Chain A
Amino acid sequence: MSRPDDIIPRELQDLVAAACDGPLSDRETERLEELLADSAEARRFYLLYLHLHGELHWHQAMADETPDLAAPSAEGHGLRIPTPTFARPKPDRISRLRLIGFCASALVAVILLVLAYRAIPERQRPPSPAPPELLASATLADAVQPRWAAGSAAPAIGQPIPLDRPLVLERGAVEIAHGRNARLLVEGPSTFRYLPGGRIDFESGRATFIADEPPDSLIEVGGATIELTRGKVGVSANGGRVEVHALEGEAVIRRVRSESDRFQETEMKLTGRTAIAWATGSADPPQTMPADPAGFATALPDRLPSHSVAMMREIVANHPRLIHQYTFEGTSRLEKCQDKRGSLHLTEAVMVGGRGRGSLDYTARGFDLTTEAIRPHREPVDGNENGTALQSEVVFRPLEAMTIELLLRYETPEDANDETVALAVATRDGERACGFFVAAVGENHLSLLLDGQADWVETNTTLAAQHWYYLAVTLKAGEEKTTVNAYLVDLAGGNRELQQVLDNREVPGVPATSRLGIGKGFDYAGAHAYPWSGELDEVAVYDAVLGAAELQTHVDALRAGE
Chain B
Amino acid sequence: MSGSERDSDQKGELFARLLGRCQRKVFLYALGLIHNAADAEEVLQETNIVLWRKFDEYEPGTSFESWACRVAYFEVLKYREKTARERRVFSLELVETLAAEAEKVADEFDDRRDALQGCLTKLRDVDRKLVLNRYRPGATTRGLAEAAGRSVQGTRKSLHRVRMTLLECIQRTLTAEARR
Measured CB to CB, the residues of A under 8 A from B are: 1-5, 13-14, 16-24, 26, 29-30, 33, 36-37, 40, 43-44, 46-61, 69-73, 76-82, 84-90, 93-98, 100-101, 103-104, 107-108, 111-112, 114-115, 118-119, 150, 331-335, 347-350, 353-355, 357, 359, 393, 528
Residues of B contacting A14 with CB < 8 Å? 160
- Interface size (B, Cβ < 8 Å)? 93
Give the docked Cα–Cα distance between A89 and B137 (Å).
7
**A79 and B92 form a contact (CB under 8 A):** no
Q: A86-B144, A93-B137 are in contact. Are A49 and B120 (CB under 8 A)?
A: no
**A29-B90, A111-B16, A354-B84 known; A96+B38 contact, CB < 8 A:** yes
| B1 and A119 within 8 A (CB) | yes
- Name the contact of A93 in the complex, choosing from B15, B135, B138, B142 (C-beta under 8 A): B138
Across the interface, which residues of A come within 8 angstroms of B8, CB to CB? 115, 118
Closest 4 CB pairs of A and B: A89-B138, A95-B137, A86-B147, A72-B121
A112 to B19, CA, bound (A): 14
Closest A residue to B92 by CB, please name it: A354
- Give the distance to chain B from A72, nearest Cβ to Cβ, in Å: 4
CB distance from B118 to the nearest CB of A (A): 6
B88 and A108 contact, CB distance less than 8 A = no
Taking a contact as CB atoms closer than 8 A, the residue among A58, A82, A353 that contacts B28 in the complex is A58
27 pairs from A and B in contact (CB 8 Å cutoff): A20-B163, A21-B159, A22-B141, A22-B142, A36-B90, A47-B101, A51-B31, A53-B31, A56-B135, A57-B37, A60-B137, A61-B137, A69-B129, A72-B121, A79-B120, A81-B132, A89-B139, A93-B137, A96-B41, A101-B23, A103-B45, A107-B19, A107-B52, A111-B16, A331-B54, A332-B57, A350-B84
A87's partner among B32, B133, B167 (CB-CB below 8 A) is B133
**How many Å lie between the Cα of A105 and that of B82 in the bound state?**
27
| Residues of chain B lying within 8 A (CB to CB) of residue A17 | 156, 159-160, 163
Q: What residue of chain B has the Cβ atom nearest to residue A61's Cβ?
A: B137
Of the candidates B20, B105, B132, the one having the most CB atoms from chain A within 10 angstroms of its own CB is: B132
- How far does the Cβ of B95 sit from chain A's closest Cβ, in whole Å? 8
Question: Does B177 belong to the interface (CB within 8 Å)?
Answer: no
Evaluate whether A90 and B31 lie within 8 angstroms (CB atoms) in the complex, with A79-B117, A347-B96 already known. Answer: no
Task: Give the shortest distance, in Å, between B176 (CB) and chain A (any CB).
Answer: 12
Contacts of B137 in A (CB 8 A): 60-61, 89, 93-95, 97-98
Interchain CA distance A247-B142 in the complex, whole Å? 66
A4 touches B45 (CB 8 A): no
Are B129 and A60 touching (Cβ within 8 A)? no
- Residues B117 and A58 in contact, CB atoms below 8 Å apart: no
CB distance from B162 to the nearest CB of A (A): 10
Say which residue of B35, B91, B102, B167 sits within 8 Å of A52 (CB atoms).
Answer: B167
Say whether A60 contacts B164, CB under 8 Å.
Answer: no
Please give 7 more A-B residue pairs, beta carbons under 8 A apart, in addition to A87-B147, A332-B54.
A1-B171, A17-B156, A20-B37, A36-B90, A72-B120, A97-B137, A359-B81
Q: Is the CB of B88 within 8 A of A26?
A: yes
